[in-house]
Amino acid sequence: MNSMPASNSAEQATTPELRPVAELSFEQARDELALVVQQLEQGSLPLETALRLWERGEELAARCEEWLKGARERLERVRAEHRADSEADA
C-alpha cells in the first residue's frame, strides 16, 4: 500500500498556520529554516511530521537561495553601473 496515513487531529492542532514560502523575507525564511533543522535534529518526531518539516525546509532553503541570487544580481548591477560611471568620468 503506497498511501500515507492521515495525520491525527492532535498533531494538526499543534502545527501553526504557516505563511506561504513565497511571501517570506530572506530573514523570515532563514529563521524558520533554522527552526525546522533544529526540530529535525531532535529526532523524536513522528515520521509524517518529520517528512512535512523536511519538505517545508526544502521550500525555505529554495526561497533563501532566490533572495541571495537576487541580492547578487543587484550587487553586480550596481558594480557595473559604478564601473561605467567611473569610465565615463575618466
What are the cell numbers at 55? 519538505
Residue 31 falls inside a structural domain = yes
Q: Which domain holds residue 45?
A: 24-89
Residue 67 falls inside a structural domain = yes
Digits of tens for pLDDT over the chain (90 positions)?
444 444 443 344 344 578 999 999 999 999 999 999 999 999 999 999 999 999 999 999 999 999 999 999 999 999 998 888 888 876
What CATH number is associated with residue 63? Answer: 1.10.287
Please tell me the predicted confidence (pLDDT) of residue 16.
57
Q: Looking at the 3D structure of the chain, how many domains does it have?
A: 1
Residue 49 falls inside a structural domain = yes
Report angle CA 50, 20, 65 to the nearest 5 degrees: 80
What is the C-alpha separation between 67 and 83, in angstroms, rounded? 24
Residue 52 falls inside a structural domain = yes
Please tell me the predicted confidence (pLDDT) of residue 47.
96
